Amino acid sequence: MNKVVPDVNGDAPSQIAAIRQGFERSGYICNNQIATSIFLAERLQKPLLVEGPPGVGKTELAKATAELLGKPLIRLQCYEGLDEAKALYEWKYGKQLLYTQVLKEKLGDLMSGAQGLKESISRLHEFDDTFFNEEFLEPRPLLKALWQPGGAVLLIDELDKSDDEFEAFLLEILSDYQISIPELGTIKARTTPIVFLTSNNSREIGDALKRRCLHLYIPFPDTELEQRIIRARVPEVEERLRNQLVAFVQGLRALDLKKLPAVSETIDWARTLVLLHARELDAELVRDTLNVLLKFQDDIENVDSEINALTTKALAAS
């Protein structure tokens, strides 16, 4: 698929509209702020830090962008203890060892005719670069994204789960789209990738990293947007039931819960109701399927007394 924002002299509003339309064709429903952020990230070649509650579509935004631009998605899942070796590169030690054995077997031939220790060492040094070149390098997601012909969409997912040290390590990549490998020197991106960093706000992201990024916050959707999302992702749901289930979820989010139901849970619940051939919400149906929306038993028990009122309100909304 061709890029939708390649023309630097094009009309920005029309290209932003094209991004929204492209997303909708792939089932990702967004507002104008999200589409504008994608336009700016691509045009300014700046990373996009996407924050918001779990399940509001941060990861899906990166996937939809990769599909829209026709670029491969390269994903780095962050976790506590993530280090350079897992994120950037590793040396193929097994292959290096094999080549070392080959060199050892040929050592006699290599040293044949050498005049003294100095010349012998000089000949050995000629092989230093052999063992530390790209042939022996195992690229991990960050390096893969820099090396990808034609560019890639790089997703650094759930950055807030990583350590401060890893966050600091990212600064060079996010500033100049390059990395430094001691044995090889500085490696620059062959084509500048589009970079997404996502965070569920479990910890504060450092100022130094934020300054290098555009910022986008995706909240829970309002009623209208969530209905559009369900219509696109679960078209089998009849309009009346769709209005009811969205109204019920919107009511749940107004309660004091450990984990509010995200868009992904709303989609799963809509699919569940379709499988059960539901035509309309009722309190019994809600109780039987509430575990699809809520992931903590305490939340399920606390909501039980509110189900009748929430269901009645949802029915009125349809």
Q: What is the pLDDT of residues 86-127, one digit of tens each?
A: 898 766 555 546 566 655 555 555 555 555 555 555 655 555
Residue 147 identity: W
Q: How many Cβ atoms sit within 10 Å of the Cβ of residue 315? A: 16
Q: What share of the chain is helix, strand, coil (3-state, %, to 5)?
A: 55, 10, 35
Write the CA distances from 315 to 155, 247, 309, integer angstroms. Answer: 40, 8, 10
Encode the chain (318 residues) as per-residue pLDDT tens digits: 345 444 445 689 999 999 999 999 989 999 999 999 999 999 999 999 999 999 899 999 999 999 999 999 999 999 999 988 789 876 655 554 656 665 555 555 555 555 555 555 565 555 555 655 666 677 899 999 999 999 999 999 999 999 988 998 899 889 889 888 776 778 889 999 999 999 998 889 999 999 999 999 999 999 999 999 999 999 999 999 999 999 999 999 999 999 999 999 999 999 999 999 999 999 999 999 999 999 999 999 999 999 999 999 999 987
| Structure confidence by residue, pLDDT tens digits, 37-64 | 999 999 999 999 999 999 899 999 999 9
Can you say whether the dihedral through the CA atoms of 217, 222, 228, 234 is positive or negative?
A: positive
Q: How many Cβ atoms sit within 10 Å of the Cβ of residue 96? A: 14
Please tell me the distance from the alpha carbon of residue 84 to that of residue 140, in angstroms, as a whole number.
9
Nearest alpha carbon to residue 276 among 262, 263, 292, 264: 292
pTM for this model (two decimals): 0.81
